[in-house]
Amino acid sequence: MYRTANEYYKEKFGCKVYKLSLDGGFTCPNRDGSISTGGCIFCSALGGGEFAERGTDIPTQLELAKKRVENKIKSGKYIAYFQSFTNTYGSVDRLRALFTAALAPEDIVGLNIGTRPDCLPDEVVSLLKELNAIKPITVELGLQTASDQVADYINRGYKTEVYKEAVRKLKAAGLEVITHIIIGLPADDPAATTRYAVDCGTDGVKFHLLHILKNTRLATEYEVGRVQALSIEEYAQGLRNCLSQLPPHIVVHRITGDGAKRDLIAPLWSADKKKTLNYLNAYLQKG
């Protein structure tokens, strides 16, 4: 049906691999005023890092994150995942210190770094290339949509061609790329975005449902009726269309995202993650 992250990691690392979400204390140029102060309209106060450990040094965060998953994990290795905000938005020295600390433990087999395509200057790409020679580094890019019009509406703060150039640079440096795509943005075509990401050379994708969260500008858009929440059937259909764009080698790391339940306004069906995944998997199997 599609290549799952579990299958891929088993091939790559020879065992099951779990992600440990970390917080490097970054902010985002789309929030701190460099690009804008508002942020993307769907972005929560935690910058997408609802499940990340916070407020301590990296070795402590890793231990805390391992404790959180220890009852699920019988054996396996970990990928350290810098998830919140823009994790290449800092000096090379700072990035080097954080990423090196995250890669140091023996049971950490790789590093995933979530960032914006406009926050990848050459010296940062060189650093990632250097670290990639030690353990595999994957860069996760928040594209969300390939439509510049929709990107303007969500206040993404960069043009789609910036993403294309970032993927080119990252691939030229031998790095793996995962692209985040949202299903459910108004007047958007996520299947076209998926095709675009594949054409640009992404190695993997993460699909996210558009969650409407409290205290976001999207919540206001929803209240005044400019944005509708998808039904689970609509999401499943959109997801299937996106998956149909993927050649077999592309890894699907997520078929839906997690919103923090306490902040979720809509769609409420998505709060039950297990039920949602069961529904989506059954829907996709129907073909």
Residues in the site for ligand SF4, rule: CB under 6 A?
28, 30-31, 39-40, 43, 47-48, 85-86, 116, 142
- Nearest to ligand SF4 of 39, 259 (CB atom): 39
Tell the burial category of 123 from Cβ atoms under 10 Å away from its Cβ (0-12, 13-18, 19+): exposed
- Nearest to ligand SF4 of 36, 100 (CB atom): 36
Provide the minimum distance between the beta carbon of 259 and ligand SF4 in the complex, in angstroms, as a whole number.
13
Side chain identity, residue 219: A
- Nearest to ligand SF4 of 78, 82 (CB atom): 82
Provide the minimum distance between the beta carbon of 44 and ligand SF4 in the complex, in angstroms, as a whole number.
8
Provide the minimum distance between the beta carbon of 158 and ligand SF4 in the complex, in angstroms, as a whole number.
9
Question: Taking Cα atoms as reference points, which of 76, 144, 143, 141 lies closest to residue 113?
Answer: 141
How far is it, in rounded angstroms, from Cα 6 to Cα 73? Answer: 14
- Nearest to ligand SF4 of 136, 259 (CB atom): 259
Provide the minimum distance between the beta carbon of 151 and ligand SF4 in the complex, in angstroms, as a whole number.
11
> Angle 113-126-109 (CA atoms, 0-180°, nearest 5)?
45
Instruction: Please list, in sequence order, all residues whose beta carbon lies within 8 angstroms of the beta carbon of residue 107, skipping any fewer than 6 positions away.
Output: 77, 78
Side chain identity, residue 79: I
